[in-house]
Amino acid sequence: METPRRDSYSAGTEAALDDQVRDFIEQYRFVIARTKVDRYRAYALRHKVFREELNYRLGENADIPFEKDAHDRHAILCLLHHTTSKRDAGCLRVVLASSDPADKRLLPLEESCAHGLTDPLLHPSKFERSCLCEVSRLAVHPDFRRSRDCALGLREQDLQLLEKNRLPPPSPLVTLSLFLAATAVVGLVGRYQVFAMMEPRFARLLKISGLQFRQVGDVIDYCGPRAAYYIDQRDAERDLQAPLQPLYWHIKESIAPQLTNELNVL
């Protein structure tokens, strides 16, 4: 497992952290859901957002208040916990492709959205499975986002502050921190080839932050209009906007020790 590179941002950055980043670090922490209890916390949050709020038909059993499926057995689940209120503000998962050639399991988008994967070069089948993953099920609790029109609630006017070398307000920062955590997780476990299903407008917003996902499929109806996107984690880490770099490295350093031996149980 890769260890965080503290020299990847300038010396003295910690001492010069933006007050907003300091506040975020004091109020939130990322938890890799390794126990059954923690994993069900993630499933419960997903149920609230995806099923109750957005009415998506996701998961295996709609009769229970936990949204989960077979891919969770091969996924790293991560929670964003608000320490002041002792509530979970967000969650995400990284589904790992099998590194065993005899294991033919597919990533979620290969299984459910194969007809939408149209790029002949940037297709999951073109990569070594041991370097491949999919980021999915990112959700922010409605109490921790200002917009309720999607599971993440980002607005362009908030992210445009990054282009002026300024951080967005706390609510969008919660959402962005989930993508930073996903970037950290896939880098730490060496799954650099990353796929995700996203709304095109959301991919455009992430591009402002430096996360330049490339569309590799047609827009299809999958819980609304979505397309397959691809990014190399190493490019994502390199291209992050400067105001997000200190927060990213803090998140990566806080997650790294939690991932010890994580791959051995997936």
Q: What is the pLDDT of residues 220-249, one digit of tens each?
A: 999 889 999 999 999 999 999 999 999 999
pLDDT value of position 10: 41
Q: Which residues pair with 140 in a beta bridge?
A: 90
| CA nearest to 190, candidates 239, 259, 248, 139 | 259
DSSP string, 10-70: -TTTGGG--HHHHHHHHHEEEEE--SHHHHHHHHHHHIIIIIIIT----SS-TTSS----G
Q: Note the pTM of the prediction, 2 decimals.
A: 0.90
What angle is formed at CA 2 by the lines to CA 216 and CA 252, rounded to 5 degrees? 80
pLDDT value of position 16: 45
Under 8 Å between Cβ of 83 and 102: no
pLDDT value of position 141: 93
- Tell me how crowded residue 248 is: count the other CB atoms within 10 A of its CB: 24
With a cut of 70, which residues of the chain have pLDDT below it?
A: 1-17, 146-151, 261-266
Burial of 32 (C-beta count, 10 Å sphere; 0-12/13-18/19+): buried
pLDDT value of position 261: 60
Residues above pLDDT 90, as percent of the chain: 70
| Domains of the chain, first to last | 14-255 (3.40.630.30)
Q: At what angle do helices 245-255 and 19-27 cross, to 10 degrees?
A: 20
